[in-house]
Amino acid sequence: MQIFRRTTFSYKEENLASIWNPAEDILKEAIAQYGLSNFYGASYFCPECGKHMIKTVFPTDLAIITVEGIVGIPRIFSCPKCKTFHAPTPGYKLSANNGYYLKLHNDEFAEAIRTFDKYGSTEGRKNTIWFY
């Protein structure tokens, strides 16, 4: 079971709308490496490496285990380079800096991002699903 920690990072979001997707190369690499289909480029930068992160939105809240107990999250951000996940606290933006953080190693990261990708879709939000 993967336990998310409280984040200690200060997140920065790109200020200006861009005519090109700045996460495109990172996204393409992640799609090729992990076979993703439900991740998109995010406007947030990874607080560790400074690259753009990618994200997916869950039609149904995803239940994660955190140091503070179970939290149902509507979206998650990832840095494929740092192999991390960043989840805002429900009802807050990531830049509120009060969300959750998880860093994994190669195989664990691959399994986790594929799980998040599997549940990220465009269908209507209904129940809660579980990520272990």
Minimum distance, C-beta of residue 46 to Zn ion, in the bound complex (Å): 3
Minimum distance, C-beta of residue 48 to Zn ion, in the bound complex (Å): 5
Kindly tell me which of 48 and 74 has the beta carbon lying closer to Zn ion: 48
Kindly tell me which of 48 and 129 has the beta carbon lying closer to Zn ion: 48
Q: Which residues bind Zn ion (CB under 5 A)?
A: 46, 48-49, 79, 81-82
Distant-in-sequence, close-in-space partners of 28: CB < 8 Å, separation ≥ 6:
none
Minimum distance, C-beta of residue 127 to Zn ion, in the bound complex (Å): 32
